[in-house]
Amino acid sequence: MFKKLYQWTLSLAESRHAPWALGLIAFAESSFFPIPPDTILVPMALARPKRAFLYALICTLASVAGGLLGYAIGALLYATLGQWLIHVYGYGARVNEVRALYAHWGWAIILIKGLTPIPFKIVTITSGLLAYSLPLFVLLCLITRGARFFLLAAVLNRYGAPINGLLEKYFGYFLLLLAAAVILGFVVAAHMA
C-alpha cells in the first residue's frame, strides 16, 4: 500500500502544478497551516533532483511572504485571529514571557525556530504582535528559512538516489516520522518560549 502511495506522491511531484502547490503550502505554513512544506519539497526534489535548489528557492520566498502575513496577523489582527492562533498552538498564557525574551533574544528566536519543526507561524505572529523590527524580521526569515530549505535541497540533490530507494522501501515509516516531527514541534512550541 505504501509503495503505491509513494509512487502516487512522486507522480504528483512531477506535475506542472507542483511548484505552485509547494509555494502555497510554504506560504500557508508560515502563517496558519500546520503541515510543513517539506512534505512536498522532498518528493519534488527526489522526482527532479536537478530542480531541488529551485524548489528550495520557491519554499524560501513563499515562506517569507507567508511570514509577512503571520506578522500582519500578529500586528493587526491579534485581538481576533492572532490570539486564537496563539492559543491553538499553546502560547496563550505565555505571551508576556515571550515578549520579555523577544526584547533580548528576538533575532536568535527567529533564527533557531525557523530551522526546527516548531511551527514557524508562532514566530511570525509573535513577531508582529511584539512589533519586532520588520526589516530585521524579513532578513532573519530569509536566512533561517533559506538555510533550512537549501540544506534539505542540497542533501536531496547529492544523495537523492539512495534516499529515493530508502523512501520507496520505508515510505510508511517516513510518514510516521514526519507526523511525529510535526507533533513534536507543536509539543515543544507549547512548552518552550
Whole-number pLDDT of residue 193: 47
Mean pLDDT confidence for 82-110: 78
**Residue 91 per-residue DSSP state:** -
Read off the C-alpha cell for 121.
Answer: 507561524
Whole-number pLDDT of residue 59: 95
Tell me the one-letter amino acid at 31: S
pTM for the whole structure = 0.78
Whole-number pLDDT of residue 4: 62
What CA–CA distances, in Å, run from 94 to 11, 69, 158, 188, 189?
43, 22, 42, 13, 11
Mean pLDDT confidence for 83-95: 71
